[in-house]
Amino acid sequence: MDTKHYGAGYLQDTGDFLKQLKIHSYSPFSTIKEGSVVDLGCGTGMDAVNLANMLGSTVQVIGVDHDAALIAHAKSGSNGISNINFIQGEVYKLGFEDEAVSGVRMERLVQHLTNPQNMFREVYRILAKEQPLVIVETIWDSLTFYTEHVDIEAKICHYLTEEKVNNGWAGNKLTADLLAHGFRQVQLQSFSMMTRSREEANRYLFLDRILLEMFEKGKLSQVEFDNFQQTLNQLDEAGCFLVSMNLVIAQAIK
């Protein structure tokens, strides 16, 4: 399914919210002094721009995304940066020669793919030996609302991992996928994303949209929907609202 709820504004907004995680995801590329680094699923180009500024003029940063509107947005926001380029393309067939790039990064991309194995094979093909790959992914089944309605929370996690997101277990399977495709020295870091108000949860997690979707599709009954909404509102009004979800950074080399 994986119906898109977001555009350029959402990607920019969440980028600011996840700033510290992003900084951690850039660090494996800091020793690259020449060649090119590819940011797959680059979206608005925020991370590609940050990498280009960090790495300097001797390293070319290339952002790739299948969405023409996002590529146009990225290009318009990178004027004046000489070592950056954005191209529209698909991750299943990347336009690079074998072992031609010095680093590959992707963030919250694998979860959207219906055939991630083809993507991993392509990334392995284009990445030079001993060079880094960094993947940031969501752990959808870690979503927690801290309510008494644990059965409803479990239904929400099941809906996201099994139905809503194309590859809802992508983050959980990263270690196995990387090792299976020949990558080495796999290391993981976990980060917690926390929203402390109903407004933040809707802004970053589209909470109300997800709950309404589940109700309309019969995944939540009227009673479950109403009770959960009431509880969330009470927690928000009492100042003790909290929704958390983990994200993972996987780092490996070819």
Q: How far apart are the first and last CA of the chain?
A: 32
- How many domains does the chain fold into? 1
Whether residue 158 is contained in a domain is answered as no
> Does the residue 160 lie in any domain?
no
How much is the pLDDT for 168? 96
The predicted model scores a pTM of 0.91
The CATH number of the domain where 132 resides is what? 3.40.50.150
Q: Does residue 230 form part of some domain? A: no
Encode the chain (254 residues) as per-residue pLDDT tens digits: 445 444 444 444 454 567 889 999 999 999 999 999 999 999 999 999 999 999 999 999 999 999 999 999 999 988 889 999 999 999 999 999 999 999 999 999 999 999 999 999 999 999 999 999 999 999 999 999 999 999 999 999 999 999 999 999 999 999 999 999 999 999 999 999 999 999 999 998 999 999 999 999 999 999 999 999 999 999 999 999 999 999 999 999 99
Tell me whether residue 9 is exposed, middle or buried, using C-beta atoms within 10 angstroms of its C-beta: 0 to 12, 13 to 18, 19 or more. Answer: exposed
Classify residue 237: in a domain, yes or no. no
In a domain, 72, yes or no: yes
The Cα 29–Cα 133 span in angstroms is 9
Range of the domain at 189: 8-141+166-194+246-253
Residue 181 lies in a domain: yes
Classify residue 73: in a domain, yes or no.
yes
